[in-house]
Chain A
Amino acid sequence: MNQRMLLASVEYAKPTTLEDAVRLLSAHDGARALAGGQTLTNVMKARAAAPDVLVDLNGLEELRTIARTGDGGLELGSMVTLSELIRSSEVAEARPILGEVASQIADVQVRNRGTIGGNICSNDPTNHLPPLVAALGAMMTIRGGDGERTVTADEFFLGVYMTAVGPGELLTKITIPAAAGTGDGFASVTIGIDGTCICNAAATVQDGQARIALGCVAAVPLVLTSTAEDAAVRQAVSGAELDPPSDVHASADYRRHLAEIVAVRAVQEAAA
């Protein structure tokens, strides 16, 4: 029998309740949550991760919901796919930037499987959604054996590929506050249209004040505040003394330059 394989041997479970998912993640040291699989499957092929047990979250219907909160914000289940974000009328009404940015991620097939929770939990510095949720002031709810806790983006993003979601825990929902200000913006320079970001920035503007989150320049989204004028935004970014990585796509100097450009563009969009 032809047994062509790419993945190392792994155990698999598909729980249908959150309790069972958390129990499975806690019970096995080498357990990993499998969300959309658009990163994890590839990482497993490359042997960059070798989980002993995959806990498939695709059976957890309660993580697939999109709801408006009482104050007009959004409560997004972590297993909402990027395509569902793009199509959601609730998202389009409350914070349309989420759908607009989701539609720039990779391609149709990846967006059909990839999830909002997976995108922020992987916390690849080039991902789109970590800076966006940081700029929007999102709160992340994490479920573990001892119950639930809710953290800010600042507390959530800990390092490259690292978040506050610990062993035996699970990101269950992302709560986005209602739009209070003028608007939201996002800008990026990518490798090809909708490709990997070389540098990106998300911004919100309220009463002439901008809150900016820069991606691709540090291990975690870097949040800055300034007034919304172009010159002030540039000064805020240059004053942050960024130490971004150099790679084949951009030197550190060029990324520093791009950070100013994308920050100004994101703030301009938010203020428009």
Chain B
Amino acid sequence: MIEPVRGQRISVEINGERHERDVEARRLLVHFIRDDLDLTGTHVGCDTGNCGACTVIVDGIAVKSCMMLAVQADGAKVETVEGLAPNGELHPLQQAFSSFHALQCGYCTPGMLMSAKHLLDHNPEPTDGEIKRAIQGNICRCTGYVNIVEAIAAAAKGEVK
């Protein structure tokens, strides 16, 4: 029989590397990633689930890591923005964001990239409409959406130098 606990040891694979930590049950996944593992590429924007800056991919699906508990990721495989360029060579999406000036301040970029990766993982040839809907949960306050959509479309078509 399972009894409630205030915290537990969790084991999470992040970008291919396994991490084991003791966490409190109340700890959000985003704080586990940023503060316990020092992977600060994943951003905290709003803390209310609206902005998508904290988007990561958990077991193949994009989630907002401020709306999931770290204990819920026990045993999961998580991809964060750091995993896009493991050896320093930019992922095609990152190269596209650079080439198409798809960022100004850059705060939303990690979340945008992870939502875009999730889209292309499931739909390699999206229409512009599908791209827009895929980043609906990601807010860019510099309002650079046009270039973001163009960058994702170019990355999907392999048209990035």
Contact = CB atoms under 8 A, between A and B. Distances in A.
A113 B69 contact: no
Interface in A3-31: 3-16, 20, 23-24, 28
Contact of B63 (A28, A53, A55, A112): A112
A24 B24 CA distance: 19
A5 B26 contact: yes
Interface string A33-68: 000011001100100000001111010000000000
B5 A109 contact: no
A110 interface: yes
A109 B52 contact: yes
A4 B2 contact: no
Given A7-B27, A107-B136, A109-B62, 7 more contacts: A10-B25, A11-B6, A13-B4, A28-B4, A38-B67, A56-B72, A106-B137
Interface residues of B, number: 37
A53 B4 contact: yes
B122 to A, nearest CB: 10
Interface string A100-113: 00000011111011
B29 to A, nearest CB: 10
Contact of B52 (A10, A54, A107): A107
B28 interface: yes
A83 interface: yes
B118 interface: yes
A11 B137 contact: no
A90 interface: no
Nearest to B115: A108
B69 A12 contact: yes
Interface of A: 2-16, 20, 23-24, 28, 37-38, 41-42, 45, 53-56, 58, 83, 106-110, 112-113, 193-194
23 contacts: A5-B24, A5-B31, A6-B26, A7-B26, A7-B28, A9-B25, A11-B5, A14-B71, A14-B72, A24-B4, A37-B67, A37-B68, A37-B69, A37-B72, A41-B49, A56-B72, A58-B72, A108-B118, A109-B115, A110-B49, A110-B67, A112-B62, A113-B67
A36 to B, nearest CB: 8
A42 B67 contact: yes
B35 A109 contact: no
B49 A9 contact: no
A12 B52 contact: no
Interface of B: 1-6, 8, 24-28, 31, 35, 47-49, 52, 55, 61-64, 66-69, 71-72, 115, 118-119, 133-134, 136-138
Identify the interface centre among A7, A12, A41, A193: most chain B CB within 10 Å of its CB.
Answer: A12
B149 to A, nearest CB: 15
Contacts of B3: 13
B55 A109 contact: yes
A113 B52 CA distance: 14
A108 B5 contact: no
Contacts of B28: 6-7, 41
B110 to A, nearest CB: 13
A5 B64 contact: no
A2 B1 contact: no
Contacts of A15: 2
Contacts of A2: 35
A106 B72 CA distance: 22
B5 A4 contact: no
A-B pairs, 9 with minimum CB distance = A107-B137, A12-B25, A11-B4, A7-B26, A13-B4, A107-B136, A112-B61, A41-B67, A109-B137
